[in-house]
Chain A
Amino acid sequence: MLETFNSLMMGFSVAFQPEVLMYAFFGCIIGTLVGMMPGLGPLAGISLLLPATFGLNPIIAIVLLAGVYYGAMYGGSTTSILMRIPGEAASVMTCVDGYAMTQQGRAGPALAIAAIGSFFAGTVGVIGLMLMAPTLASFALRFGPPEYTALLLMGLFVLAYMSGGSMLKTLAMAVLGLLLGMIGIDVMSGYTRFSFDIVELGDGVGIVPVAVGLFGISEILLTAGQADPPKVQQPTLRQLVPSKEDLKLSVGPIARGSLLGFMIGIIPGSAHIISSFVSYGIERRLSKHPERFGNGAIEGVAGPESANNAAATGAFVPMLALGIPTGPVTAVMLAAIMVHGILPGPMLIQQQPDLFWGFVASMYVGNVVLLVLNLPMVGLFVNLLRIPYAYLYPCILAFCILGCYSVSNSTMDVWIMLLMGGIGYVLRKFGYDLAPVALGLVLGPMLELSLRQSLAMSGGSYAIFIERPIAVTMLVLGLVLLGLALKPMIFKSKDWRSNVGLDEPID
């Protein structure tokens, strides 16, 4: 333990040098700007800056990239909170309550809590990375296709049970998202499905145009035609700072979100996306006033933001300890550190402790710099709301078109965004939640692959899901929640939603 501490201190002594800190600031600023663009998330930011790091020393390169990474994550939250435009799937839940807070003139506290939550979660993630990387990585390796299928199904069941509206409608939207995820080339057989001879659809439907359309465009379609446009906000300095009550309400969600996010984040694959959805559901369920969720509950920002950030750090555990990239972002980061002679894997900590601890310290420095940089910038970001809505919404529309076009330099993504905007507008009129569509779209290809692999492994027997302890535990948990949600429909009893005046009983 003492040796670990000493190694980490050695890493920090390098990472806190003025030159390194300067690069960290630079990385955070670039990352925040990139993250604010829908379509340009952490992956694009890191990919853009990767060639520029080749000539730098490894620690500086990693600090720079870590700054871009954290900055882009936070930048995505900023547009979610201020404009209801999630730059990526992980920010979808943030825009639900974050934007509601903005409409109430509380964008400042929402942005500040997002920054504080992200910082705390990053800290938990780094401590977890430091203390438990090898152990957790070996546990994560026990996740095969059946466990993965069970985890993804559990995520969907949790979301359905904890959603504020009708469970059936939530499930319908999740299935719609899963079906959207079926578009494109089937990786197991090579068939191109539901692409209608449109070449661009061969790669599937991206999350960015769908999320921007469903959330950003539909919001403008609903708001811009109102007789009374949203009022210009002129928050005072006091209104930018979270109150004691805000901080008190956020402590629990931040702590729970951080732990949950880290545990989900270490699982290989892109399961970390469900962490923000599950965190939101848990916070709503634990709250004494769940009816506040969706209407500007600060816990609805604190929990998912923390979970999202902790999961992002957790994703580095299998990357560093096993040399396995868990998603596109970690794959690019892996390439970046390998360029500098660091070979991640089980022997990294033993053979190159200075590099491992340098990396861990660099990640943390990126996190600290982001907090220091972004808390004062909350006031700057909130100034966007001083722009009259008549000027703001056309610029947001142009921004959405630009962002979606930038994803793959194709107008197909813009068409998808517009289509989703129209569909989202109608669905909201009919009282459907849109977040499950985004979750389903991201999970669809993963769920299909793991389900088909599981069935192939078992020779076509679904019993494989009950023969494996981790899978059966998660499935039972998910089914119990589903059963609890179905109970009022079968026994005509009251559901938790109706007990808190959220909605009609399950229809």
Chain B
Amino acid sequence: MADVKEEDLPVSGGLRSDQVSGVVLVVFALVIIWFNREFPVGTLADPGPGYVPLLLACTMAGIGLLVAFLGARTEALSAIRWPEATRALIILTACVAATFALERIGYRLTTAAFLMFFLGVIERKKPLAVVLVSAGFSLGSFYVVGELLKVPLPRGPWGF
């Protein structure tokens, strides 16, 4: 852990962060190996499409095991704090909703609604500022990217 010195680590038992992350790496590697079984590995003289993924997954599993085995002196799992997790989840959920809406109601409406949610609901800014920033950003960015740079941005069913 980049920020934690050994002497600062809590002496309590329990799982360590590297033990958990090492095991996750191993599990991830095993999942890759499972999905990779569909692809021929080939021979050394003619390696198939499954050859390099298998090689990499095995390497990942080996590294994961080393991380887990040598992780006994790292930070305790319970010492990792997640104070911003709720806000992070809200942000990700709002982004997911915006992505769903993007091609359905168009870029300008999605972006305006997205910004209004953040500025009005989450950050509780003044209504005038919320409207000005949301409308200004969505229309301005559409003009620069969509009109000037000719990037085809999605339009909603109302052509907007």
Contacts and interface: CB of A to CB of B under 8 A. Distances in A.
Contacts of A175: 56, 59-60, 63
SS class, residues of chain B in contact with chain A: helix
A191 B103 CA distance: 30
A409 B152 contact: yes
A226 B35 CA distance: 39
Interface string B1-31: 1110110000000000110110001001000
A220 interface: yes
Interface residues on B, range: 35 or more
B35 A398 contact: no
A55 interface: no
A489 B63 CA distance: 13
B109 interface: no
B119 to A, nearest CB: 6
Given A34-B149, A456-B45, A401 B98 contact: yes
A414 B152 CA distance: 15
Given A414-B99, A507-B67, A394 B118 contact: yes
A429 interface: yes
B88 A390 contact: no
A332 interface: no
Contacts of A452: 47, 51-52
A503 B2 contact: yes
B103 A221 contact: no
Nearest to B82: A429
Contacts of B43: 460
Contacts of A398: 98, 111, 114-115, 137-138, 141
A169 B67 contact: yes
A405 B2 contact: no
B17 to A, nearest CB: 5
A390 B99 CA distance: 21
Given A503-B2, A504-B73, A176 B87 contact: no
Given A226-B84, A405-B102, A429-B80, A397 B67 contact: no
Contacts of A447: 52
A176 B60 contact: yes
A491 interface: no
Given A455-B44, A507-B18, A507-B73, A394 B114 contact: yes
5 contacts: A40-B145, A225-B85, A451-B52, A455-B46, A456-B45
Given A182-B52, A391-B129, A503-B1, 17 more contacts: A40-B145, A168-B70, A175-B63, A182-B53, A189-B49, A193-B39, A193-B49, A394-B123, A395-B137, A398-B98, A402-B111, A414-B99, A415-B99, A425-B88, A452-B52, A460-B44, A507-B74
Q: Kindly list the 9 A-B residue pairs having the minimum CB-CB distance in the complex, ordered from nearest.
A: A225-B84, A225-B87, A460-B44, A460-B45, A394-B118, A221-B88, A186-B49, A191-B49, A431-B1
